[in-house]
Copies of this chain bind each other. A is one copy, B any other.
Amino acid sequence: MCSDKILTGLLAVSYAIYLLLGAIVFRALEKNEELEQKRAVIQMKVAFLQNLAHLTEADVEQFVKNLTDAVQRGVYPVGNESQAEDSNWDLCNSFFFVAAMVSTIGYGTLCPKTVAGQIFCVFFASFGIPFTIVFLHRVSKMLFLPCERLGRCLYERGMRKKKIKFLTLLFFLVMGILVFLCLPSVVFQVMEGWSYSEGFYFAFITLSTIGFGDYVVDKQPDRNYPSYYRFLVAIWIIFGLVWIAFLFNLLTTLLEDTEKKIAQNLHKRGKA
């Protein structure tokens, strides 16, 4: 039991180091490229402003097209020269990018643009994704402990095994929906100013690892987030990913059971 805890600790630390090293490399590879692109967009804006008196419709259309391209490439053209020095690829954002990548959520709010960054991405994720799975396997053992305890408690009171299985599953499902979807939605409502349904949608899209990137936490420039918020979100994602993987597994098993029954029916008919 003690060596098991040491192993969990070792795994968590080495996983964190792996992510941190990745974040440092991506920052080194991407920061300059991004600053150059940002400066180019701001220069384009300055040139547009200087020419304000002599603009044609075609100029505006070209300006809109260039701006659209820049935003789609992840360069935000709002603000002036001084803000151009703020990088999306600081260590914190780079770590967020790496974590979103290896969990396969992949919001896509920040993406590598350099050839080196893209190639490193492929290698880093090739090992990072299995590493994440191993880490989450270990977390899942912790998450299932309360369910096991509940099961043992009910078994000692003389309940039938089938009923226990059903009850622990129900407990796991209902508690999970409350703790991983309903409760976080309230937190996002307060912290991000989203509606409750937007918070719920974001929570589901994140934990299911779809990660559209239309809603992302901790990213609105006009909001102040407390320092513990990021930490809470990380904990929520780690346990939430495990919970939803279990849920999808359960639904997959149910579907495959149905499939087997249909196969048996087909087989019987084929023989008849």
Q: Give me the interface of A with B, judged by CB distance under 8 Å.
A: 2-4, 6-7, 10-11, 45, 48-49, 52-53, 55, 57, 60-61, 64-65, 67-68, 71-74, 76-78, 101, 104-108, 111, 115, 118-119, 121-122, 125-127, 129-131, 133-134, 137, 195, 197-198, 200-201, 204-205, 208-214, 248, 251-252, 254-256, 259, 262-263, 266-267, 269-270
- Report whether A259 and B213 are in contact in the complex, using a CB–CB cutoff of 8 Å: no
- Report whether A134 and B213 are in contact in the complex, using a CB–CB cutoff of 8 Å: no
- Report whether A45 and B64 are in contact in the complex, using a CB–CB cutoff of 8 Å: yes
- Report whether A111 and B214 are in contact in the complex, using a CB–CB cutoff of 8 Å: yes
17 contacts between A and B (CB under 8 A): A3-B267, A3-B269, A64-B78, A74-B214, A104-B104, A104-B210, A106-B209, A106-B210, A106-B213, A118-B197, A119-B200, A125-B210, A129-B208, A129-B248, A134-B255, A134-B256, A134-B259
In the bound complex, residues from chain B placing their C-beta under 8 Å from that of A64 are 45, 67, 77-78
How far, in Å, is A169 (CB) from chain B's closest CB?
15
How far, in Å, is A214 (CB) from chain B's closest CB?
4
| Given A204-B125, A211-B106: A68 and B78 interface contact (C-beta under 8 Å) | yes
In the bound complex, residues from chain B placing their C-beta under 8 Å from that of A122 are 200-201, 204
Q: How far is the CA of A213 from the CA of B210 in the complex (A)?
A: 11
- Report whether B205 and A121 are in contact in the complex, using a CB–CB cutoff of 8 Å: yes
In the bound complex, residues from chain B placing their C-beta under 8 Å from that of A67 are 64, 67-68, 71
Q: How far is the CA of A49 from the CA of B10 in the complex (A)?
A: 61
How many copies the complex holds: the figure is: 2
Residue of B nearest to A195 (CB): B115
- Report whether B71 and A263 are in contact in the complex, using a CB–CB cutoff of 8 Å: no
Q: How far is the CA of A3 from the CA of B125 in the complex (A)?
A: 40
- Report whether B131 and A212 are in contact in the complex, using a CB–CB cutoff of 8 Å: no
Q: Which 5 A-B pairs have the closest CB atoms?
A: A106-B210, A108-B212, A130-B251, A3-B266, A118-B201
Q: How far is the CA of A214 from the CA of B106 in the complex (A)?
A: 10
